[in-house]
Chains A and B, each alone.
Chain A
Amino acid sequence: MQNSVALPITGTRAGAAARVWSAVAVLLLGMSIIYVVGFSTISKVHNATHDNRHANGFPCH
């Protein structure tokens, strides 16, 4: 059994930047999706996602 020591990544600083920007893009996408399905104030979107909002604890009417 090997020791569970995390080795330093071989990548360059540019590689780390690519990871950080990709992760930020993933986070922004996640926020947008959760806003639409859980928080939208547009009546039609609210009504279409109504049961999902209640079932998953998002504040609803």
Chain B
Amino acid sequence: MDRFRHMMTLVLLSGAAAGLVLFAVQHLTVVPLIQQAEVYERAGEEAEVASGGHHHDEGWQPADGWERTSFTALATLLTGIGFAALLFGVVFLAGLPLDARRGLLWGLTAFVCVDVAPTIGLPPQPPGVAVAELYARQIWWVGTVVATAIAIWLFFGKGIPKLARPLGIVPLILPHLLGAPKATGQNVVPAEIIHRFSALSIATTGMFWLLLGLLGGILYQKMQAKDADSFGTQPAPLQ
């Protein structure tokens, strides 16, 4: 139980801290672009209704202003904790030691898997952009993240035979050979907003992953200095 408690302490602290910073940064950069894009999206919907199309009822949604901001803050905080649990869960499962430098490398690796690789086929986009069916995109997104992680494990993982390492190229490029689901419909948002949105989204998630890895590495060292067997992983090498 102690192992689990120590792991969760590290995950909750690093994930909540990095998640809150991500929320603050995105609130000032990405979210204003979502609001700008929604002006075009609403105008597009009104034009559709005016020309005889039917109105889509989307059900309950948080009211604009503090309510919507609070839900976004909570969701981003949880995203931080969820990604921290996945990233450090893998590190703990492998039994590998962490420190600030290793943490940064793990964060960079996660950024490549979770953000860079899916962006090739499905870049982050604001509302009002033509998309393919949601379920197909979710399957491709998850498949690409997992395949890229397997590729990196084959390339750099411990205990992989030398001759097997080049096989990592297969999961690395397979999702992109299959291709992401193709969008149908029309963009109602200006290209400039779409491009700025994609760039800012990737920049902010990159910052998040590096910060998360760094914080996790620092916490790991602090906790292990108190109790060398906190996580049951290999001891961090002395520096």
Contact = CB atoms under 8 A, between A and B. Distances in A.
B30 interface: yes
Contacts of B233: 9, 19
Contacts of A9: 95, 232-235
A26 B7 contact: yes
A7 B60 contact: no
Contacts of A1: 239
B186 interface: no
A16 B95 contact: yes
Interface in A8-57: 8-11, 15-16, 18-20, 22-27, 29-34, 36-39, 41, 43-44, 47-57
Interface of A: 1-11, 15-16, 18-20, 22-27, 29-34, 36-39, 41, 43-44, 47-61
Contacts of A41: 134
B68 to A, nearest CB: 7
- Interface residues of chain B: helix, strand, loop or mixed (majority): helix
22 contacts: A4-B239, A9-B232, A19-B231, A19-B233, A23-B93, A24-B93, A26-B4, A26-B88, A27-B89, A27-B90, A29-B82, A29-B85, A33-B85, A34-B79, A47-B59, A48-B62, A53-B75, A55-B31, A57-B118, A57-B201, A59-B122, A61-B134
B84 interface: yes
Nearest to A58: B141
Interface stretch (B47-55, B125-133, B149-157, B218-226): B125-133
B103 to A, nearest CB: 16
- Interface residues of chain A: helix, strand, loop or mixed (majority): helix
Contacts of B84: 30
A56 B205 contact: yes
A59 B119 CA distance: 11
B211 interface: no
A23 B92 contact: yes
Contacts of A50: 61, 72
Interface in B189-239: 197, 201-202, 204-205, 229, 231-235, 237-239
